[in-house]
Amino acid sequence: MTISETTAFTALAAEGVDTGLSVWPASTRTAPHGELSVGGVALTELAERFGTPAYVLDEGEVRARCRTYRAAFPDADVLYAAKAFLCRAMAHWVEEEGLGLDVCSAGELELAVITGFPPERIVLHGNAKSPEDLATALRLGVGRIVIDSTGEIARLAAQVPAGSRQKVLLRVVPGIAAGGHAAVRTGTDDQKFGLSLADGSAQHAVARVLDQPRLELVGLHCHLGSQISSVKPYLSAVRRLVGLLAGIRRQHGVALPELDLGGGHAVAYRPGEAALDITSLAARVRGELAASCAAAGLPVPRLTVEPGRAIAGPAGVALYRVLSVKRTGGQVFVAVDGGMSDNPRPALYGVRYAPRLIGRHSTEEPALVTVVGRHCEAGDVLASAVPLPGDIRPGDLLGVPVAGAYHLSMASTYNMVGRPPVVAVDEGRARLLVRRESMEDFRRRDIGL
């Protein structure tokens, strides 16, 4: 949350306004008896029509966030990071809003292209691309491939057809620690991604790529991590990467025209949490890039950013039905019909959410409870120490905001529980984007008898 947003949040709370909705989609509206609507559609209606668990995605919120990035970075390329969440409708929305796409696999790439997404506006990256990933990218004419290791250079060059060249970026590890959890900090030398500046791996890889006639090195790429709420790490990355660009020109006589700073822009999952100020990020990064290039005597490269969570996350809401309420050992456990199979992030990263009772108004005082899932794991906890009405009971509907990113994309079929559907809402209409996974799906995949 920015300083201005924090001030507004505090003022609203003082006035008695429901600040619990500050992390919900902007279209969220309250109604009597505890009803909430998103995109003009009541959440209880969606739960009845599509069942629970279910993901609700506000199309208007997705598009508005795309436009915010386009306005903040008018002279840069904005790529939506598909790993956050991808379906054909999502690819269509971001393409219509003028964004490119960042994919990590042949699967994501194929889905985007069959939707009609222009392959030349797609970047493929990943630390361990399979032969199929590379072959698919070359076959479909992907715009850029991000080289992540020295071994990938020769493998990729060998697959490029004779007489053609593939544009590539080189992923550099700038040695910057940033991110909301150790598992998502990717800008340091102690993890699996990229080529280190500190040990000379990046510089060595540059020379090798430039020696490959079928590869065209057009720029550098870095990704510092996820849930970064400060601009400062990005400014440090700009300075270090411009230093490498200057070294490349001195040694090889080449001024690379592109610089990709990745994504990782933080969003607030609970009221009062910090989010990265995109407008400030854009202004300060542009200023630092211009100043650093001027000091090095370099032309300013074209900038690229790759937001994923910051576009999809706040546009999503997860709906659950309460199955049981258990009071034991001084704790209250509220069990719902989903869990770590549809949202593994609390178990993986300790992420905290803010569930809310939907569909009825309670006069009971709130009590701190632990919302747990249905799976056979003690760690299947969706939210701990969260306030819910003291009369919470089976059959109640819970809504969990900021559920649009890394939910379905990371979902599993643990305990053979099918993955939930995705329902889009916009201007009072609801439509199914991704259907619920069924027992018939499981039966068709199992061919063992």
CA pair distance 441, 327, nearest whole angstrom: 37
At residue 247's C-alpha, the angle toward residues 246 and 249, to 5°, is 65
User: Of 66, 104, 293, 376, which one is the catalytic site residue?
Assistant: 376
Backbone phi, then psi, for 171, in 5-degree steps? -80, 120
- Cα within 13 Å of Cα(395), Cβ side: 3
Question: Is 66 one of the catalytic residues?
Answer: no
Backbone phi, then psi, for 252, in 5-degree steps? -120, -5
List, in sequence order, the alpha helices (H) in 85-225. Answer: 88-96, 106-115, 131-140, 150-159, 201-210
* CA–centroid distance for 318 within its chain: 16
Which of 257, 192, 264, 194 is CA-nearest to residue 228?
Answer: 264
CA pair distance 332, 108, nearest whole angstrom: 41
Residues 6+ apart with CB under 8 A from 241: 172, 174, 220, 222, 259
Which residues share a beta bridge with 356? Answer: 399
Q: 274 — alpha (psi -120 to 50), left (phi > 0) or beta?
A: beta
Distances (CA, A) of 427 to 38, 57, 61, 145, 432: 9, 12, 11, 38, 15
CA pair distance 436, 418, nearest whole angstrom: 7
DSSP for residue 150: H
Residues 6+ apart with CB under 8 A from 273: 1, 23
Backbone phi, then psi, for 336, in 5-degree steps? -120, 175
CA pair distance 99, 67, nearest whole angstrom: 9
Residue linked to tokens 């006035």: 15
Q: How many residues does the chain have?
A: 449
Tokens standing for 249?
A: 């020109």
What H or E segment, with its residue span, contains residue 316? strand 316-328
Within the chain, how many helices (H) and strands (E) appear?
13, 21
Tokens standing for 304?
A: 């690229």
CA pair distance 221, 146, nearest whole angstrom: 7
Question: Mind telling me the catalytic residues?
Answer: 376
